Amino acid sequence: MVYGRAPHPRLPSFGGPGAGLPPPPDLVALLVTVFVTFSFRFFDATVFVPRLLELTPFAWRYGFVWQLVTYPLAGVPAGTLWFLVELLILFFFGRDVFYRLGRRRFWSMLVAGALAASIVAVLVHVTVTLGGGFVPNAFAIMQGQHMLLTLLIAAFATLYADATIYLFFVLPVRARWFLWLEVLFAFMAFLGSKDLAGFAGICAGVGGVWLWLQPRGPRRAFRDLWLRSQRWWMERRMKQLRRKRGFSVVPGERGGRGGRGGGPTLN
């Protein structure tokens, strides 16, 4: 993966801000675990291990609650060569995110993002199932290294928003846009798989990571989003009332009686 801190087409850097630093042991252990669970799928004696780790409807039907956090560790087949490419991309993004966040925040971000994604995905699956519907290939597009890629790329796009990533090694794209590109790619995967629960989970994972990494904390970021949405709704509602009932905004006079200024009024 090619990306640089400055959006200059002649000054790309291979590996980003963390280039030259030793591989983080935590990240190496994470990649090794995914590789091992991927390998276990090809042996009859060990295939049960990744099946127990991956997210399935058993998480809510039979109480397999550990799957809500273990599913990113269950490496899934994606073609032998492409699987190794995915691990390489995970290393590039994961290294920079790890050195930016540190060990504790790195793991808390992964756990929080994975948990947010799985809870939303399971809720969607439960809602559709209890409503008499059917979700084919439930959770398929968010298993294993796919979710790790989603979370780490979202974290990089949040932490290094002004960096330039060369998509397909050719097209320069600001890192912040990868938050939306991940949602777009997930939607394309949903069209092919009809995995509504998985699509909802990926969107929740991207949003969860963005909220978790906000400078003022996830609670303050969520509160700001809520206030902005309320303000947008009120402004939209006022515009509708003015068009429907013929209201007009009259600026209030300042410095009236009693020294109190007036605000805008509706006539």
Pair 106, 225 in one domain: no
Q: Is residue 11 over pLDDT 50?
A: no
* DSSP-assigned letters across all residues of 133-150: ---TTTTGGGSTHHHHHH
Count the domains in the chain.
Answer: 2
Instruction: List CB contacts of 47: < 8 A, sequence separation 6 or more.
Output: 40, 41
Pair 160, 73 in one domain: yes
Q: What is the pLDDT of residues 203-237, one digit of tens each?
A: 999 999 999 998 865 555 555 555 666 676 777 76
Is 184 exposed, middle or buried, given 0-12, 13-18 or 19+ CB atoms closer than 10 A?
Answer: exposed
Which of residues 213, 240, 258 is at a domain's end? 213
Return d(Cα 80, Cα 116) in angstroms, integer: 29
What is the domain extent for residue 257? 221-266
Return d(Cα 13, Cα 8) in angstroms, integer: 10
Pair 116, 40 in one domain: yes
Report pLDDT for 258.
47
Pair 201, 256 in one domain: no
Pair 130, 237 in one domain: no
In this structure, what DSSP letter does residue 34 have?
Answer: H
Q: Write down the pTM of the prediction.
A: 0.75
Pair 259, 177 in one domain: no
Pair 73, 203 in one domain: yes
**Helix 103-130 with 25-40: angle, nearest 10 deg:** 40
* Mean residue pLDDT across the chain: 81
Q: What is the pLDDT of residues 34-72, one digit of tens each?
A: 999 999 999 999 999 999 999 999 999 999 999 999 999
Pair 225, 100 in one domain: no
The listed range with the strongest mean pLDDT (158-167, 188-197, 234-243, 257-266) is 188-197
